[in-house]
Amino acid sequence: MVCPLYVDFTRMCLEKFPTLVNFTTLKTCSSEQYVDCPVYLISTSNFNCKYLQNCSKQYSEKMGNLVKHIFMNKDVFEVLKDMWTNYCISPENAETCAKYKLYSNGEMPSINLMPNGQIMSPFDFIFKRKQITHSPE
């Protein structure tokens, strides 16, 4: 089974979300794994955070190939998928995101700021595999 957004060897998701498409592979589009693709989740969600494009653009511009490497790591990908699900495409939680709050105040959030307010370097993803989707309670 292939992604419904992959039509005639064209990734229709490019139209809605061109930045994140750089970090997924065509292999995902042409397999049953498409249901876990962040671009598919975002494209088919009924809600997207109004700052989602800003955040993804910031990662793509500042970290380029490193982000692509991070996305290809299954463990890290699962953490990021949880983050998108819990904040970026969640109408209930989007406004609680630390980056959302800064963007709303006209400030540019640090690339290391996670939605729950934690500060994490991209290398934390690779080497430590910290859980970032929920605030410590």
φ and ψ at 104, to 5 degrees? -65, -30
Q: Which of 86, 85, 68 is nearest to 122 (CA)?
A: 68
Same domain for 97 and 123?
Answer: yes
Q: Say whether both 66 and 133 belong to one domain.
A: yes
70 and 58 share one domain? yes
58 plus 13 within the same structural domain: no
Give the model's pLDDT for residue 100: 97
Looking at the fold, whether 91 and 38 belong to one and the same domain comes out as no
What token pair was written down for 49? 């955070």
My answer on whether 37 and 85 are in the same domain is no
The model carries a pTM of 0.74
Query: What is the domain range of residue 61?
Result: 48-137
- 42-85 residue pLDDT tens: 888 899 999 988 887 787 677 666 655 665 666 667 777 788 88
Q: Are 117 and 88 members of one domain?
A: yes
| b (16+ CB within 10 A) / e for 73-108 | eeebbebbeebbbbbbbbeebbeebbbbbebeeeee
**Structural domain count of the chain:** 2
